[in-house]
Structure 1
Amino acid sequence: MAEAEFYDRLVRTTSFDALCDLASFTPMPETWVVGVCDVVNSTTEVANGRYKTVNMVGAAVISAQINAIGNRPFPFVFGGDGASFAIPPEHADAAEQALRAVQRWALDEFDIGLRAGLVPVHDIRAAGMDIGVARFQASAGADYAMFNGGGVSWAEAALKSGVFGFEPAPRGTVPDLTGLSCRWSPTASQNGTILSLLVQPARGAADARFNAVAAEIITLSANLARGGHPVPDAGPGTQWPPPGVTLEAHARKGKGSLGASRRKILLETLIAWVLFRTGWTIGGFSAGHYARVTGRNSDFRKYDDGLKMTLDCDSTTLAEIKTILVRAQEDGIVQYGLFEQKEAMMTCIVPSVMRDDHIHFVDGAAGGYTQAAKMIKARN
């Protein structure tokens, strides 16, 4: 297998349960490079009511990488207040330029610092860690990468300690964030709680014991309505003007004015809102079909050196999940964080509304993964 085509050739699995089996993951090629980033002081930003902005910055990292390498498939995972990805070495320079441009954009547009760096897979393995990847088919039109082995977590820790990382691009540098959008309304829980859940292996825990705990949680969530999917089958809701219009204007304005960008998006979203309300089809675009595909394409569950889920959860299932996690933590198998809120929200990358390959990152609307991670940090 040519290393440059490694990810293209990975077999996609349609069973999320199968990801509890280490055999579902394939070792990352030694020559590849892992990109990691996270928002500086994200907990403070959330406390200041800027969680949607934090999500937008994290998604911008992925959007910029997609555009930098010409929409070629590559593995990535959205983490709420950051993102991780992997690329073959021939794309490393383009990846660095895109990351540094997003760092500059986040500073200039939102006064948000973004740590970012590229870590060779060789260095990860030299440190005694590993990184494997799987490709999960969320729907007919979208699939998402899953990481295991602890290598991404090691790279993130190395980034935060200053071993890796680089400075933002010079002032005036603008990333290509074509396709990045923020137009859907938050989705209220139908079962009682939107649960943001992070479950990570405890230090020294055997893979088999951790995977058994993860499998228990996945089985429980499967019993929820629609498997706990927080986005309704008909798709998320819309309103006009959309709540994320100004954030999207920051992403799309390039070197133009924020006002002009915002006015253009308002016009586009007004037309879309009318189509969603009336059910009309224009130029082959069906708003109802697009909304349904949006829900199916959403990444509400993932593996990223552990289990991450955003679930629409009832009180009974929530209590059962907590019981499993408390016991597993006491047994030295996991460390976990969870956060309960009333709504989920979505940040999107949509190359074209006429295709079904748009991707959608789901998180809790009141702090989500960042607040769950805060719970883990408080215990360490």
Structure 2
Amino acid sequence: MTADRSEPAFEGGLCEIQVDQEAEHDRFYEALVPFDSFDDVVRRDRYRPLPDDWIIAVTDVSQSTEAIEHGRYREVNTAGAAVLAAVSNALPDLQFPSTFGGDGASFAAPAAYASIIKDTLARTAAWAEDALGLSLRTAVIPIADIRARQLDVLVARFAPSSNITYAMFAGGGLAWAERELKQGGYIVPRAPIGVTVDLTGLSCRFAPISTKRGVILSLIVVPREDPTSFMELIQELLRTLCSDQPSLHPLPAEGPLHEWTDDHLDHAIRKGSRKMPFASWAAKWLRAVSSRVGTVLGFRGFHVGRFRETKFRQELMENTDYRKFDDGLRMTVDCSSELAGVVDACLEEAQRRGSCFFGTHRQQAANLTCFVPSPTRANHVHFVDGASGGYAFAAANLKRNAASGVGTEGVRALAGHLQPPRYSV
């Protein structure tokens, strides 16, 4: 896919760049051959180690579980996605792999951009605290430090459609980096009060997406000591879920409905944007139309200039990031209560066998956070999470499962005192 040099693009885990003289190591992620079946996340030959002169950046909303318990899941998701929007805008000419985790995000980039990345992280953390009242922890870690722990960061590209690719991570290094962040290592301090960050393209303008099949299931599955049994488990779980079937997609085929009222979150995002985020513009445009035609629900297929609403909604469905692998499997799917029960039983048995730690969470709706640099290009990305806890509650349940199921070993492992396995996929 080619990029318009006049505007930045974000491709579900990567920011596209076009420069006349790119350094070879800058093109590492771009050069990876994408795969189009999610089952291939378990194939070792799909992954490549990051270059030695790259860095890992990890972020996390502190006390996100408590914030979500108070109904602030949209703010938490927005703070997590804001990091990727801000770095995309700060480095519009860099292509790099990243992943969204609900209450945070992680990405990798050449160390040559470390100063810009640290400045952008500091600015985003300041925005999150000053505008949203959330503490966003950020850290930057050299790949060399991860490999010194006998771990690695391996990256692959998954292409769910012709529009975008998403980064997949393996090797244990990303999980270690996230634990280092939570223990206070490699911290990037927030910027001073009044410092702003460019969040152009970020929006949270869609209403919660209700389940059509019974429950929105968020799940996280991470490895223990035996990498072989873990990857066999992932294969079994994907077969059980039939993850390549669109019936498990959390979005309806027609796309989600817009949220029709402005709120403090929309205003907070706009304070950091050079221009109004497209999703907000579309919502306002549709509201104006609805006042004339009487109802917006029956008004589909409109177009303004090069923008085609029907095409955009189709791309939105295809581009939604509802399954990923980042040193463990994460999924947000719409399924029956019966299937959710089968998944829980499968994972409980696997945890008893010592193959994994896991956490799941059920809710009645999903939340969508968007990054749309351009309404006329197909590579806009949409991050999905459960609307009533999602990945944050699944992670909390994972910790409880480990503590109650395997005693002190699980507590110590999750606290970071035991190294994660250097597993291969």
Q: Given the two structures, how large is their TM-score scaled by the length of structure 1?
A: 0.93
Q: CA deviation at 1:284?
A: 2.7
User: Any conservation in 2 of the 1:138–1:299 contact (CA below 8 Å)?
Assistant: no
- The equivalent residue for 2:74 is 52
* Structure 1: segments with no counterpart, 5+ residues: none
Aligned-pair Cα RMSD in Å:
2.2
User: Any conservation in 1 of the 2:27–2:95 contact (CA below 8 Å)?
Assistant: no
- The equivalent residue for 1:250 is 268
SS state of the match for residue 350, structure 2?
A: helix
Q: CA deviation at 1:224?
A: 8.7
Q: CA deviation at 1:301?
A: 0.2
- The equivalent residue for 1:281 is 303
One-letter amino acid of the structure 1 residue matched with residue 283 of structure 2: T
- The equivalent residue for 1:186 is 208
Say if 1:350 and 1:51 are closer, same or farther in 2 by CA, change over 3 A. Answer: same
One-letter amino acid of the structure 2 residue matched with residue 213 of structure 1: L
- The equivalent residue for 1:291 is 313
SS state of the match for residue 192, structure 2?
A: coil
Q: CA deviation at 1:172?
A: 1.4
User: Any conservation in 1 of the 2:216–2:366 contact (CA below 8 Å)?
Assistant: yes
Do residues 132 (structure 1) and 146 (structure 2) align?
A: no
- The equivalent residue for 2:415 is none
Partner of residue 210 from structure 1, selected from 222, 230, 253: 230
Say if 1:339 and 1:201 are closer, same or farther in 2 by CA, change over 3 A. Answer: same
Q: Aligned partners of 1:361 and 1:135: how far apart in 2?
A: 17
Q: CA deviation at 1:189?
A: 0.9
Q: Aligned partners of 2:76 and 2:217: how far apart in 1?
A: 19
One-letter amino acid of the structure 2 residue matched with residue 271 of structure 1: W
User: Any conservation in 1 of the 2:163–2:379 contact (CA below 8 Å)?
Assistant: yes
Partner of residue 221 from structure 1, selected from 224, 232, 241: 241
Do residues 83 (structure 1) and 105 (structure 2) align?
A: yes
Q: Aligned partners of 2:188 and 2:244: how far apart in 1?
A: 43
Q: Aligned partners of 2:273 and 2:26: how far apart in 1?
A: 34
Q: CA deviation at 1:8?
A: 1.1
**Matched ranges for 1:299-338 at <5 A:** 299-338=321-360
- The equivalent residue for 2:94 is 72
Do residues 271 (structure 1) and 296 (structure 2) align?
A: no
- The equivalent residue for 1:24 is 46
SS state of the match for residue 105, structure 2?
A: strand
Do residues 359 (structure 1) and 387 (structure 2) align?
A: no
User: Any conservation in 1 of the 2:214–2:335 contact (CA below 8 Å)?
Assistant: yes
Q: CA deviation at 1:266?
A: 6.5
SS state of the match for residue 95, structure 2?
A: coil
Q: Aligned partners of 1:191 and 1:160: how far apart in 2?
A: 36
Q: CA deviation at 1:272?
A: 3.4
Q: Aligned partners of 2:93 and 2:286: how far apart in 1?
A: 25
In percent, how many aligned pairs have the same letter? Answer: 38
* Structure 2: segments with no counterpart, 5+ residues: 1-22, 291-295, 404-410, 412-425
SS state of the match for residue 118, structure 1?
A: strand
Do residues 349 (structure 1) and 371 (structure 2) align?
A: yes
Say if 1:225 and 1:261 are closer, same or farther in 2 by CA, change over 3 A. Answer: closer
Bigger drift between 313-322 and 358-367 goes to 313-322
Q: Once the two structures are superposed, what CA deviation does each residue of 1:199-256 show, in whole Å capped at 9, x if it has no partner?
A: 0002x12x221111111111122179625110112211224226xx431321121399
SS state of the match for residue 152, structure 1?
A: helix
Q: CA deviation at 1:2?
A: 2.6
Count of matched residue pairs: 372
Q: Aligned partners of 1:323 and 1:239: how far apart in 2?
A: 36
**Matched ranges for 1:63-212 at <5 A:** 63-202=85-224, 204-205=225-226, 207-212=227-232
SS state of the match for residue 218, structure 2?
A: strand
Q: Aligned partners of 1:270 and 1:32: how far apart in 2?
A: 41
Say if 1:135 and 1:265 are closer, same or farther in 2 by CA, change over 3 A. Answer: closer
Say if 1:255 and 1:310 are closer, same or farther in 2 by CA, change over 3 A. Answer: closer
SS state of the match for residue 219, structure 2?
A: strand
Q: Once the two structures are superposed, what CA deviation does each residue of 1:79-106 show, in whole Å capped at 9, x if it has no partner?
A: 0000000001121111101100011101
Q: CA deviation at 1:294?
A: 0.4
One-letter amino acid of the structure 1 residue matched with residue 231 of structure 2: N
- The equivalent residue for 2:258 is 238
Q: CA deviation at 1:315?
A: 2.4
